[in-house]
Every structure is written in C-alpha cells, then in structure tokens.
C-alpha cells in the first residue's frame, strides 16, 4: 500500500500555522463537495426514517473493528457477491462506536517496522430502510485516503462482497466510491454493511462520512464530485497549457519579453504537477515513488516560475530575490527525492515549506505592487495570494486540518492565473494600442505640419517658376524682336536715310516687320503642343495675302499627335520656316497653286509645301543665305529640311519634325 503523502511530521505545525488562512475556504469546499444539505444521523439500529421521498442518509458515526490479515488475501479484486475470505468480525463485542469523518494519524514506530502487517479497519453501518424508498439503493463514500476499500454486506448468515477496490488503492485518495446495493428491501428492514479500509499497520488514513440512499441521487452527487476532482483539473491544466503555448509563440517573435517564456514554463510545469489528480499511478514501486516526487517537487517549480513571471511586470528588478528563488527550488528538488536519507519525506513537510516561502515572497511582491506597481502587476499579485490560500487549504486537507469531504482547490488556481494573465496581456495590449494611437496622432500632426510646409514651399516655388517663366519669355521676346524685327527696322532705317529705298521698297520692309511681329504673337498662343493648330493660325493670317497674289491655297492637313516639345520658342521657329517658304513662293516662284500637307511617318511628322512655279536647278544654284537659315532652324528643332526643285516643275519643301525629342536644341 502507498505511504506517499502520509506521515505526521510537521502536521501539527502546519495546522497551527495555516488554519486561520483556510477558514474562509471551508464553506466553499463544502459547497463544492456536498451539494444539498443532508440529514445527519448517528447510528441507531432501532431508528427508522420514513418519508414519501426520503433523502439519502448521512452517517456521521458507525461501529469500528480492526482485524489483522495477511497480504495474499488482498492482492487483487474479488468477485462481487462472493463469500468474503477475511470478513468483518461476527462478534458484537468486537465492535466499538466511531465518529466520522475519521483521521488516523501515522504511528512512526509501527510504520517503521520491517514486517508490519496489513490491517483492515471495518466500519459497520446498520441502515434501516425508510418507508417509500424509491428504486435501488447505493452507498456513497466521498473520499478515502491511505487505504484500499472493500464494501461487504451481511445476508443474515455470513458476509458477502458487494464491491472491491483493492486494485485502485493508488488512486483511491482522489476518487469517490459509489457502490450499487441493489433493490431496496422492504421499509423497516435492516441493511447491515461494512466498509473495509485495508492498509499497512501504522499508516495514516482518512475517511469521509458515509451516505446510503437512492442510487440515482447518490450517483448524481458522485458524478459532481468526479467532475470537480478528475475533470475540472485537466481542463484547467490544458487551458493553462494552451495559453502557455500561445505565450511561447509570442516570445519566439519577441525574445526580449521574458515574461511570456516564464509563463509558458509555468503552464508546462503546472500540467506535470496536476497529473496525479486524473491519471493512473505507475504500478512499479520505484516508478510510483518518482512519479510522486515529480508532481510534488514541481509545485515548488510552479511557485518560483510564477513569481518570476510576476516580477517581469514591474520595472524594479530584484535579482537577489530571483537568484534566491532559483536556489530554493533546486535545493527542495534534491531534498525531496525519494531516497531513504532524504530529509523531506512527506508531502506535508514539502507543502509547509512551500507555503512559508511563498508567503514571504508574496509579502515582498505586495509591497512592490502597492508602492508604484502597475495595474497588471497588482492583479497578478492578488491572484498569487488567492493561489497561496488555495495551497494552504490543500495543506490542511492533506494534514487533517480540513475534513476529507472537501476537495483540493490548488488545481483551480490555474483558472485564476489564466484570468490574471489574460488581464495582464489585455492591459499591455491596450497600452500598446494607446501608445500606437498616440504615436500615430503625433505623426499625423507632424505630417500635417510638413504637408502645410510643403504646400507653402510649393506655392512659393510656383510663384518663382511663374516669375522665371515670365522672365525667360520676356528675354526670348526681346531676343527674337532684336534679331528679327529690330534688325530689319535698323537696316531699313539706314537704307532710308541713305536714300537707297523707294516707297514700294520701304512698304515691303515694313510689311515684313509686321509679319515677323505677328509670328511672335502667334507663337505665344496656347496651342497645347498641337502642330495643326499652329499651322492653322498661320494660314488664317496669310490667307488673304495669298489670295490677293492670285495663289490657290490647298490645305491638306490631317490630325497629328501632340508634340510634347512644341513650346513657344520652338513654335516660333516652325512658323518662321513655313512663313519663309511661303514668302519665297510669293516673291520668286510665279506660281498659281500652293499645297500645304501634313503626314505622320513612324516617329516623324512631315510638313510638305509644294508649288507649281518656275522652280530652279538645285544642282547648279548654290543655296542662298535664306535657305541655309531654314536648314539651320530645322536642325535646331531636331528635324531636317529637304528641298526638291527643277526648272519649270515647281518646288517641293519637306520639313521633318520628331514626335519625341530628348533634349531641346
């Protein structure tokens, strides 16, 4: 049989130290464990309880007998209904009254004996069936610690086995016993039962009060306790571990946040610590002892990891405290190892030391939390105090200071820590969101200021560019008027003063000056880089002069794509080239027809001017200054000028202009 968790060493000190802290939890534990308030009866074989729907009877007392037996009789479960090989005593004198719940302390002398025998503590109940008992009956025992359990019934002649739990002795400490007693006997009948607690002589044992009543109601009570003792702990552990895995993933992305790594470690060790609440114990004795060492020592590791996690939520660091906690948990893990010479041999001693150290550390954390700690640090510290109270309650439950009918509360601390961690993460997330919003607001304000500054700079730049454009345009006009109109006027003035020009010649010179001035004005018109519009303005201005000279103007212009480079200076050059060609036709060609056409050829736009005049021999005649100027202007525009003529066949002038031009000429 097991001795893990048994022993009286430190029990009295634990009870005196921790009873005050756990008083407030007794009501909670009783509420979780008991359900509706039962009727409590002391054993009275002559008493009959009758009711239309009788409640289960709670026996707070019974008859007790102790009988030594040999181990082979209890190595395995027996067949229900069979004759008990080592029954309870038949002699009434062997029985003595006993109050329940019962706690038998460990006897160090008897427990240390090398050949100590197995004994059976028989608890006898004489149940009188009440009137109106509905359906089959059952026996319900909330908790048995330190013993294997058998339930036997007396059939009037001998004891017969009703339930054998000797194969569950390792897990019996946390599993309720529910025994089906079969159909209810007639009202007033006496049902004699005995519960056998099989254990080594001198071992510590605890047994709760015994219920006998309708099977359906007691099965519901047993099911509720099963949920509280065996279902809720793994759910809490898995929930805690799931959140720990989430914290681990978060830490992998932000290695500086050690709090999340510590929380993952806490959740992992917590899952190991709670294994004994819901898994079957190892059958091998050595493995069994080391399993209990793992679950008990891991409680110290959980405590230290959770405290280190809490310290990460405070800006003030306490390296001496952290090093002390790590040293403490390493020392306790070694001292609690399942060796014969280990100084910490009982669960009570280990829990008592953890509770004392935890209380001291929590006092330090509380001082830090309430003297400048953050909100999340205060909440985590408060949750750790609640966990400490849960641990003290369980210490009292292990040491006998609390009724064995209570439940272990420490597994539920995982829910408390889970909520505290969620709150801390929520606070940090909210703070991060507010910080991001604050930074974004500042960035938006700075961006708005920068945009306003850029807008003002852009407006100033536009003013400067507009002034510069006006200045450049003014300079261009001055240059064009100086080179064209101004030069013509000056040369005409000199000739007139010398008397070398007659009136018709002066009129021609003045007409040329007016045409050049109009060209400058036409080049300033907004044409949107459209060559056709530019040529149309020239046609409109020269149309009457051509008609008065007897020339038929054939306009064969097609739509052309815009020329991005066709700014006013370049537009003026195009106008001068075309006007110069038309002027030459008027003066020298003796033509009757002029054809002006435009075509698009790949990446080139061509302006074609043809006449049917007298022409000239391009091979024999050297080009004059006017033709050279036309070619130079076309070259500056990035294009070319081609002249084709022959005597008697007219003249053909082709001006090629590029669609795109990299750099201005």
Average the pLDDT over 430-445 and give the result.
Answer: 89
- Min mean pLDDT across 78-92, 169-183, 259-273, 445-459 is at 78-92
Q: At what angle do helices 568-584 and 503-523 cross, to 10 degrees?
A: 150
Q: What percent of the chain has pLDDT over 90?
A: 19
pLDDT class of 9 with cuts at 50, 70, 90: very low
Average the pLDDT over 78-102 and give the result.
Answer: 70
The beta-strand segments (E) located in 70-201 are 96-99, 102-104, 118-128, 137-141, 144-145, 148-154, 159-164, 177-182, 190-200
pLDDT class of 360 with cuts at 50, 70, 90: very high
For 445, the token pair is: 């304000």
> By the 8 A CB rule, do 398 and 22 touch?
no
Give the mean pLDDT of the chain: 79
> By the 8 A CB rule, do 43 and 210 touch?
no
Burial of 624 (0-12, 13-18, 19+ CB in 10 A): exposed
The confidence score (pLDDT) of residue 19 equals: 41
- Which residues, at least 6 apart from 428, have a Cβ–Cβ distance to it below 8 Å? 376
CA distance 10 to 120: 26
β-strand pairing of 148-154 with 159-164? antiparallel
pLDDT tens digits, 567-615: 877 887 888 888 888 888 888 888 889 999 999 888 899 999 999 888 8
For residue 395, pLDDT over 60 is answered with: yes
pLDDT class of 85 with cuts at 50, 70, 90: low
> By the 8 A CB rule, do 23 and 359 touch?
no
The confidence score (pLDDT) of residue 523 equals: 65
CA distance 375 to 427: 8
For 414, the token pair is: 């995982």
pLDDT class of 184 with cuts at 50, 70, 90: confident
The residues facing 191 across adjacent strands are 127
Instruction: Kindly report the backbone phi and psi dihedral angles of residue 115, in degrees, each rounded to the nearest multiple of 5, phi listed first.
Output: -115, 35
CA distance 393 to 387: 10
pLDDT class of 265 with cuts at 50, 70, 90: very high
Output the DSSP codes for 263-302.
HHHHHHHHHHHTGGGTSPPPSSHHHHHHHHHHHHHHHHHH
For residue 68, pLDDT over 60 is answered with: no
For 450, the token pair is: 């920068």
Rg (the chain; Cα; Å):
56
Half-sphere exposure of residue 447: CA atoms within 13 angstroms, side-chain side:
6
The confidence score (pLDDT) of residue 487 equals: 64
Buried/exposed 557-578: b ≥16 CB within 10 Å, e otherwise: eeebeebebbebbbbbbbbbbb
β-strand pairing of 61-69 with 118-128? antiparallel
> By the 8 A CB rule, do 172 and 86 touch?
no
Classify the C-alpha dihedral 471-476-481-486 as positive or negative: positive
Domains of the chain in sequence order: 527-658 (3.30.565.10)
pLDDT class of 455 with cuts at 50, 70, 90: very high
The confidence score (pLDDT) of residue 227 equals: 93
pLDDT tens digits, 502-548: 777 777 777 777 777 776 776 666 677 788 888 888 888 777 778 88
The confidence score (pLDDT) of residue 103 equals: 87
pLDDT tens digits, 201-244: 888 889 999 999 899 899 999 999 999 998 999 998 898 899 88
CA distance 277 to 397: 15
Average the pLDDT over 188-205 and give the result.
Answer: 87
For 539, the token pair is: 């046609």
For residue 348, pLDDT over 90 is answered with: no
Name the most confidently modeled range: 42-46, 308-312, 626-630: 308-312
């Amino acid at each position: 049989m097991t001795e893990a968790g048994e022993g009286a060493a430190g029990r009295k000190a634990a009870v005196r130290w921790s009873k005050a802290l756990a008083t407030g939890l007794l009501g909670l534990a009783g509420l979780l464990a008991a359900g509706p308030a039962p009727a409590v009866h002391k054993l009275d074989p002559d008493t009959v309880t009758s009711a239309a729907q009788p409640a289960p009877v709670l026996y707070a007392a019974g008859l007790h007998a102790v009988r030594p037996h040999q181990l082979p009789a209890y190595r395995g479960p027996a067949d229900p209904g069979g004759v008990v090989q080592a029954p309870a005593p038949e002699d009434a004198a062997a029985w003595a009254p006993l109050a329940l719940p019962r706690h038998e302390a460990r006897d160090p002398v008897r427990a240390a004996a090398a050949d100590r025998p197995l004994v059976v503590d028989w608890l006898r109940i004489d149940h009188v069936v009440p009137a109106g008992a509905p359906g089959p009956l059952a026996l319900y025992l909330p908790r048995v610690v330190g013993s294997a359990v058998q339930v036997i019934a007396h059939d009037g002649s001998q004891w017969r086995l009703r339930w054998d739990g000797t194969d569950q002795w390792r897990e019996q400490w946390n599993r309720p016993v529910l025994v089906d007693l079969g159909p209810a006997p007639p009202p007033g009948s006496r049902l004699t039962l005995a519960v056998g607690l099989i254990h080594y002589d001198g071992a510590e044992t605890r047994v709760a009060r015994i219920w006998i009543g309708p099977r359906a109601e007691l099965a519901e009570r047993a099911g509720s306790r099963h949920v509280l003792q065996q279902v809720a702990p793994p759910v809490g552990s898995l929930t805690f571990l799931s959140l720990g895995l989430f914290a681990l993933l978060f830490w992998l992305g932000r290695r500086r946040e050690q709090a999340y790594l510590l929380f993952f470690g806490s959740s992992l060790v917590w899952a190991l610590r709670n294994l004994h609440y819901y898994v079957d114990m190892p059958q091998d004795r050595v493995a069994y002892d080391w399993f209990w060492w793992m679950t008990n020592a891991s409680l110290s590791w959980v405590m230290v990891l959770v405290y280190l996690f809490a310290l990460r939520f405070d800006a003030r660091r306490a390296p001496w405290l952290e090093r002390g906690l790590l040293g403490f948990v390493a020392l306790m893990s070694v001292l609690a190892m399942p060796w014969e010479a280990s100084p910490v041999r009982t669960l009570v001693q280990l829990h008592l030391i953890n509770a004392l150290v935890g209380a001291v550390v929590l006092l330090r954390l509380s001082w830090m939390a309430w003297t400048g700690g953050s909100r999340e640090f205060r909440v985590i510290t408060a949750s750790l105090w609640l966990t400490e109270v849960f641990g003290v309650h369980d210490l009292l439950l292990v040491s006998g200071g609390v009724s064995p009918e209570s439940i272990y509360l420490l597994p539920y601390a995982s829910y408390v820590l889970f909520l505290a961690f969620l709150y801390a993460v929520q606070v940090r997330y909210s703070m991060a969101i507010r910080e991001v919003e604050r930074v974004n607001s500042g960035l938006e304000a700075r961006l708005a200021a920068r945009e306003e500054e850029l807008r003002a700079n852009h407006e100033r730049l536009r003013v400067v560019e507009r002034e510069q454009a006006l200045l450049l345009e003014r300079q261009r006009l001055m240059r064009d008027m100086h080179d064209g109109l101004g030069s013509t006027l000056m040369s005409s003035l000199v000739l007139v003063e010398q008397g070398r020009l007659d009136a018709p010649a002066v009129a021609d010179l003045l007409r040329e000056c007016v045409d050049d001035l109009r060209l400058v004005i036409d080049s300033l018109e907004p044409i949107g880089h459209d060559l056709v519009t530019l040529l149309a303005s020239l046609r409109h201005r020269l149309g009457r002069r051509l008609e008065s000279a007897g020339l038929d103007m054939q306009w064969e212009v097609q739509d052309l794509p815009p020329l991005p480079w066709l700014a006013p200076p370049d537009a003026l050059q195009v106008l001068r080239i075309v006007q110069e060609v038309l002027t030459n036709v008027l003066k020298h060609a003796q033509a009757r027809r002029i054809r002006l056409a435009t075509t698009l050829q790949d990446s080139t736009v061509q302006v074609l001017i043809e006449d049917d005049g007298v022409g000239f021999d391009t091979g024999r005649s050297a080009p004059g200054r006017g033709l050279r100027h036309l070619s130079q202007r076309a070259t500056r525009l990035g294009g070319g000028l081609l002249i084709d003529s022959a005597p008697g066949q007219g003249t053909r002038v082709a001006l090629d202009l590029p669609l795109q031009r990299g750099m201005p000429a």
